[in-house]
Structure 1
């Protein structure tokens, strides 16, 4: 029963709109499936880091420093803002058909795609709060093998992330092929960019969590 509850929470966390959603959505529509898969791989690896930091208590130690929390929060906000501006600039650059074709040829390499997915997930406050508040409640720390139990739960979360975003990539790519027009593509980049900027502002306004309530 507890495992089912955990899977449901993971699923709700993953499908709720956030920076990852718009990152995958815009990449799958604008750049391509290969680059999107590397970004999803980055999301998965960063998820393991979040989980392991929580499992070994390091996240809670870091959270005790208000200055460190504010610094990490601002770095995350600036990175999301940078991604938002980047998508808007890409949309603005697609002024004609020739530009549209050239931009499609300028594909992001695999390492950069991985890094974008990795950093977006690593600096995602929604994921940080999940591993600080919800995740420890499903670990039986009194058991000798609680580390293995924790890794299993992290893996379940990672599988949910990969499955959902791969499914999204396949459907978005098909949809984008049907509506493959300059106007649609530019609107998509603008919306994705504005949403990422919006999430960066929300992150800046996020208060410092009270450790006693975690």
Structure 2
């Protein structure tokens, strides 16, 4: 079983900086949002709103720092279509800038029947592959990526995501006791690297330096965690 290590002070600061960045960028929003599981969530994280060069550059820097600090071993990165595609490309660039140059690849939703053909684009999948995505809700995209990677003869070794919601997954329309991240980590045996978790969001909302409008959301997010939350 692969377990998560507790955050160091540097990791915790990186997480706080990331949450602040996501709020400032309008990517992390507060209100009432319906999740895929049909829950009413007091917050919503939409990585698609990292929508210009400066935001993507900063986002990839957070990913790269979290990945390198985690110590996860990998030989290349993979971005599942669609949101994972720009993430894998920009994170590969930032990793190279920080001294770790690795190949990257991604998939198409539909296989191409002309030109190079197939559903995979980029470097050949080989060795230990790190999957890069935004969040993990049901784990469906993770399972699809794992099947693609194994089918190519490579090893799906780890995943890197921006935010771990730390909430119960749903199976067949019912809540289960584990999160999607816990399933991938504990049942599939893959390492999971996250930039920030729900507990980091709560810490941000509770701190004295957060704007009053942010602190006002703390009780709603805390209540949501108490109802749907899981541990690490």
TM-score between the two structures when normalised by the length of structure 1: 0.26
Largest Rg, 1 or 2:
1
TM-score between the two structures when normalised by the length of structure 2: 0.24
Q: Between Structure 1 and Structure 2, which shows a larger proportion of helix residues?
A: 1
Q: Between Structure 1 and Structure 2, which shows a larger proportion of strand residues?
A: 2
